[in-house]
Amino acid sequence: MDGSEMSEHALEYALEAYPTAEITVLRVVGEPSPMWGEASGLALADNLEEAAQNLAEPTFARARELVADADGDADLETAVELGHPVRSIINRADDYDTVVIGSHGGTVADRLYVGNVAKQVVHRSPTPVVVVR
CATH number at residue 73: 3.40.50.620
Q: Are 87 and 120 in contact (CB under 8 A)?
A: no
* C-beta contacts of 8-12 below 8 A and 24+ residues apart: 8/62, 8/66, 8/102, 9/102, 9/132, 9/133, 10/100, 10/101, 10/102, 10/130, 10/132, 11/63, 11/66, 11/67, 11/100, 12/66, 12/70
Does the structure show a pLDDT above 80 at 123? Answer: yes
- The pairing of beta strand 75-83 with beta strand 22-30: parallel
Average pLDDT value over all residues in the chain? 86
pLDDT at position 113: 55
Which has the closest alpha carbon to 129: 91, 106, 102, 105? 102
Q: Total domain count for the chain? A: 1
pTM for the predicted model, two decimal places? 0.85
Domain that holds residue 21: 5-132
pLDDT at position 71: 85
Which has the closest alpha carbon to 96: 22, 10, 13? 22
Task: Render pLDDT for 32-67 as a digit per residue (tens, 0 to 9).
Answer: 454 445 555 566 677 888 888 999 999 999 999 999
Task: Provide mean pLDDT across the span 55-84.
Answer: 94
